[in-house]
Amino acid sequence: MIEDGQELIDKLLADQEVAMSNVWVFAGGIETLLSYGLLKKQEDVYIFVKNLEGITQLQEDIAWMKGLPLYVEMENPHNAELPIVVSHASIGDFWDLEESNYKHFEFYIMTNRNRPSADAPIFNIYGHTNVSSVVIGHNFVSLDTGCGRSDGSGKLSAYCVETREVVV
């Protein structure tokens, strides 16, 4: 959203055409852009709108997102050997890249869709990959049960670190 949102802002401010083929637009971006007033629907067609108030708000929100941590690390009350890491995508198998190759680390923490191997050095709680129900492994919890699905079939799920309880 940060990169594609800024690209969208730049194009709107420069009065350039914005293509609807943008992957971000089809991954929840339509609803987001409607909420900023940067997109409107006329009949069955979406049209981008150069709404300066919406652009300003999106810029402020992007600046806020840039200040957020890439992941959250915490102590594991059940296993001191495996720190808990909460991240967007599965990062267990790439944890060592944080020190040696941060660009690759950042890439995997945002895009990886593979479950971590059993010998990953962290207990990773992540989303990014839709699962029908929360999956709990030896060293991971995959909890993206699709609450943002446009067809309404998904659920919002959470995992309590202290009790190991899944809440749906």
As beta bridge partners, residue 86 has 72, 125
pLDDT tens digits for 83-128?
Answer: 999 999 999 999 999 999 999 999 999 999 999 999 999 999 999 9
- Domain with 7, as residue range(s), is 2-66
Question: Is the same domain home to 86 and 59?
Answer: no
Backbone angles phi, psi at 110, to 5 degrees: -100, -20
Spans in the chain with pLDDT lower than 70: 21-26, 150
Last residue of a domain, one of 17, 46, 66: 66
Neighbours of 67 (CB within 10 A): 6
Is the pTM higher than 0.85? no
Q: How many CB atoms lie within 10 A of CB 144?
A: 20
Domain boundary pick from 21, 37, 66 = 66
CA angle 107–113–118, rounded 5-degree value: 105
**pLDDT value of position 59:** 97
CB–CB of 108/114 below 8 Å?
no
Do 107 and 89 share a structural domain? yes
